[in-house]
Structure 1
Amino acid sequence: MTVRTRFAPSPTGLLHIGGVRTALFSWAYARKRQGVFVLRIEDTDLERSTPESVQAILDGMHWVGLDYDEGPFYQMQRMDRYKEVIQRMLADGTAYHCYCSREELDAMRAEAEARGEKPRYDRRWRPERGKTLPQPPAGVDPVVRFRNPLDGAVAWDDAVKGRIEIANEELDDLIIARPDGTPTYNFCVVVDDWDMAITHVIRGDDHVNNTPRQINILAALGAPLPVYGHLPMILNADGQKMSKRRDAVSVVDYSEQGILPEALLNYLARLGWGHGDDEFFTLGQFVDWFDLEQVSPSPSRFDRDKMLWINQQHMKAADDARLAALTLPFLARLGCDAGQGPALAEVIALLKERVTNLVDLAAQATYFYRHDAAPAELAAQHLGEESRARLGRFKDVLAAAEWNPEALSAAIKAFVAAEGVKMPLVGMPLRAAVCGTTQTPSIDKVLALLGRETVLARLTATLAG
């Protein structure tokens, strides 16, 4: 049997990180078993689905690097198939027409609640042997309901949650087609999973209540049942469900925050799954290690600090040229032209171990591409009269020095010894004058990258100011 998994988002907004984790686990399960990963867009919610959201899903999947083998398939392009299956079910008696009005359904619910019962449809239009059905009202388009079994139970061995069993008496006769003939979500999902030969349905545990209904429909169709695995919810740091108002929930948010896609996947993989004490790993390692049986059924909390730490590890390991390309847009937003200064990849190599994200990396790289005067407080602390005089003398030393980190380091040490002062009394004013900040890597490496002409020009400008 070829393992076939699917990711089936609804295009009603941006791609949510909970959805990305679902896609990741489904993708990894298929990849580990040389299976097939399918992308399906469940776009039957015409009021909320938009082309922009569809594109956001496709862009998000591309950004995180989760490639799919088949698709994207769109439910709205499969309407004829759904209607064909519904007609078959009506013919074989596993579905029936229901003509109840909204008012009748509201009355049923109110009466059930008054009796202290669970509000539900009373099956008045369900055909039964010896039962006389009401006369269909004129001019009313009926819905189609699934004829759910009345007794017994639906049970499945969930790959994450273990054995789950629901009594059929707890389930309603589900509407599978609306009055205008358009099929409903639970029905479309069943037909899609059947037609696409999905063997493993890996999805969020908010779908657990849908599963018994879908299993019963599959059984009525004589279709094979997939293995179900319901992933635990991702909560925010306060233990609440993540929301768009309070939390960064879309992959766009994390892209804008300078998080690397491989780092986001690494972190999401650790939410509800683990491989011993391993925290930092590649996507290839995750595929090798992953199995659904290792997924915890309990919710996980999103820890931003842990995510940033993992991002930092991936930045350290990343190719400098790739990081430079990723940092360029953030640097441009800060008004810096990376063409007017040292090679950005060399700057990245010097700075990347000092930051946790691309936004901070760009911010720390700015002094390589423009000269900002030190803030007044910093200037008052490090660029007083005595310090400026010392920098003037050191400028002459730099003008004659060889220009590489080793030679510059030796020149600084010799000047410090000649002046009879400690290193900070030269290093800090030098940083403030040349970089506009005292928070830099080793100053000899910074000077070497900036170049003699730039360093001398900045010292001249600072001393003249």
Structure 2
Amino acid sequence: MTESITGRPVVARFCPSPTGNPHVGMARTALFSWAFARHNKGTFVFRIEDTDTSRDTEESYQLLIDVMHWLGLDWDQGPEVGGPNGPYRQSERLDIYADVVDKLRAAGKAYPCYCTAAELEHRRDAARRAGRPSGYDGKCRSLTPEEKAAFESEGRTFVTRFRMPDRDVSFTDLVRNEVISFGAENVQDYVLVRANGHPLYTLTNAVDDALMGITHVLRGEDLLSSTPRQIALYEAFRDIGFGDGGMPEFGHLPYVMGQGNKKLSKRDPESNLLAYRDQGFLPEGLLNYLALLGWSIAKDRDVFSLAEMVEAFRIGDVNANPARFDIKKCQAINGDHIRMLSPEEFVKRLVPYFASARLIGDPASDEELALLTAAAPLVHERTNLLTDAVDMLRFLFVADGDFAIDDADSAKNLGEGGITTVRAAHKALGNLSSWDTESIETALRDALVEGLGLKPRLAFGPVRVAITGSRISPPLFESLELLGRDKSLARLTAVLG
């Protein structure tokens, strides 16, 4: 059973523009559209909106492809996959748009507008002063052939405008589950094609949706005002016999809010999707959190898999109210997903981050992988980001000449008393005949807790800082075993001067 008023098999789409870095709002839109299609056993179309030659870049296009692969949001039709309605980059479909515009103009559904920018602004100012809607006033709606010829003789160029019907436009929003109406006076004739011949997204998206059989359009609330324009355009398509005659259903997703309860924008640091990958988020952890920005699987449950989301997701359950992005909760949920990984999968996810930090080779050697496999369980339960593990285990992999102790931790733990503790630890460990966790723990407890009369926290803190370079580290005794006798004693010696 599908969530569809019309009952057509579900075909949902995601059509981002390749401008700049992908952002979290984009990822949430992709996630909800993908989950909707998968829940309804439908088709998910990935399409690239790249007709803005001044802003679209090939680098951004490739980033979109890479990010979708990283997130694991697979598509049934689109770049790299193909499909029956390609190509799936709008820049390769310009002839299609031009042909549709010709048909619309021939049917009187669209017309050339010769108004200059200055003329438009002058008339808009006058409308605002008179308290009237300030959109396009229809000046060129009914030009005679002679008037058109006169404008062209002046050297004027024209844009192509769509002729909006002189009536209100209404639709049922899938997220709000209510009928939304736009008065005819508030939705004026709009531009389909710029004077330079470049089509605008209101045209290209509607044309592609019609040709690709899109049944459901889930997109951001910021595009709500364009919906009546596109609905009227679909109706015009029916009149000219273009497409399959179907009308998509629309759902507008709530805003994602950032700091200060302002809409999260591309300029906000927490919006940069690539930064989350670099910081060590799991795609499943990040997607889990993004799903919570407007939807939940159950009142008392925040952590779930993508498969569970697909099973439970209904677009009517999305909350229409804005959702605030909370980076701490995002990290916590990511940590939950990290702890759900098997030990083998955890190591697999860590390898690229250790290689990026140049702590292991790319590819890693057998010895490096063996050390990482042995060390990873020490931090698995304490890791919220994969980079946390890199920071905590760095001391095991860093070259001797690159090992450094945090200045603040050194000042706090390696004063006169700390040096006395390190000296006692060096002597006790130097006398060990067997270098294993149990022997190390026994020797240090005997020397520092029993011998010096220190509480464990004060006893082991200076040793931890001397060995790992930080007061935050994996368990000390296991760390010493993995680091090995020679490196451990050398680091203690270095602190003693």
Task: Give TM-score, length-normalised by structure 2.
Answer: 0.85
Q: Which residue of 2 aligns with 1:20?
A: 27
Partner Cα separation in structure 2 for residue 135 and residue 155 of structure 1:
34
How far residue 178 of structure 1 moved from its aligned partner, in angstroms, is 2.4
Q: Structure 2 vs 1, CA of residues 78 and 417 (structure 1 numbering), >3 Å: closer, same or farther?
A: closer
| 2:3 match | none
- Counterpart check, 1:288 vs 2:301: no
Moved more, 364-373 or 38-47: 364-373
Letter matched to residue 394 of structure 1: A
Match of 1:134?
147
Deviations 1:217-265 (A, max 9, x none): 1011113111101000101131012234443212112122222222111
Residue aligning to 1:230: 252
- The alignment partner of 1:49 has SS state of coil
- Name the CA distance, whole Å, in 2 between partners of 1:356 and 1:332: 21
Cα gap change, 1:330/1:365 in structure 2, threshold over 3 Å: closer, same or farther?
farther
Out of 481, 487, 494, the position equivalent to 1:448 is 481
Kindly report which structure 2 residues correspond to 1:64-463, keeping only aligned pairs within 5 A, or say none. 64-72=71-79, 73-127=88-142, 134-137=147-150, 138=153, 139-151=155-167, 153-161=168-176, 162-222=178-238, 223-275=245-297, 276-318=299-341, 319-332=345-358, 343-370=371-398, 371-373=403-405, 375=407, 376-377=410-411, 378-380=413-415, 382-385=417-420, 387-398=421-432, 400-401=433-434, 403-415=435-447, 419=451, 421-422=453-454, 424=456, 426-463=459-496
Distance 1:336-1:224 versus aligned 2 partners, 3 A rule = closer
> Take 1:365 and 1:331, find their aligned partners in 2: how far apart are those partners?
12
Tell whether the 8 Å contact from 2:355 to 2:364 is kept in structure 1 after alignment: no
Query: How far apart, in 2, do the equivalents of 1:136 and 1:159 lie?
Result: 46
Alignment deviations for residues 60-111 of structure 1 (CA, whole Å, 9 cap, x no partner): 2122221111113111111111111111112222222233333432332233
Q: How many residues align?
A: 458
Matched residue SS, 2:251: strand
User: Does the CA-based 8 Å contact 1:99-1:136 persist in structure 2?
Assistant: no
Q: Which moved more, 1:76-85 or 1:101-110?
A: 101-110
415-424 or 312-321, which deviates more: 415-424
- Letter aligned with residue 295 of structure 1: V
Q: Deviations over 1:324-376 (max 9, x none)?
A: 21331453289999868661132222113223223332121121124435754
Letter matched to residue 279 of structure 1: D
Q: Structure 2 unaligned runs (5+)?
A: 1-7, 80-87, 239-244
**SS of 1:224 mapped into structure 2:** coil
Identify the range of structure 1 (419-428 vs 197-206) with the bigger mean alpha-carbon deviation: 419-428
Q: In 2 relative to 1, CA 93–347 (structure 1 residues): closer, same or farther, beyond 3 Å? A: same
Q: Secondary structure at the match of 1:201?
A: strand
2:96 and 2:480 mapped to 1: Cα distance? 68
Closer/same/farther in 2, CA of residues 74 and 335 from structure 1, 3 Å limit: closer
Distance 1:277 1:133, change over 3 A: farther
Q: What is the distance in 2 between the residues matched to 1:134 and 1:90?
A: 17
Q: Please state how far the C-alpha of 1:460 moved relative to its aligned partner.
A: 4.2
For the 8 Å contact 1:160–1:230, the answer to whether it is kept is yes
* 3-state DSSP of counterpart to 1:5: strand
Instruction: Note the aligned Cα RMSD (angstroms).
Output: 2.7
Q: Residues of 2 paired with 1:135 and 1:437: CA distance? A: 77
Secondary structure at the aligned position of 1:280 is classed as: coil
**Separation of aligned partners in 2, 1:15 and 1:279:** 25
CA contact (8 A) 2:127 2:134 kept: yes
Aligned-residue offset at 1:428:
3.0
Change (3 A) 1:345 1:320: farther
Return the TM-score normalized by structure 1.
0.90
Contact preservation (8 Å) 2:428, 2:443: no
* Counterparts in 2 of 1:456 and 1:247: CA distance versus 1, 3 Å: closer
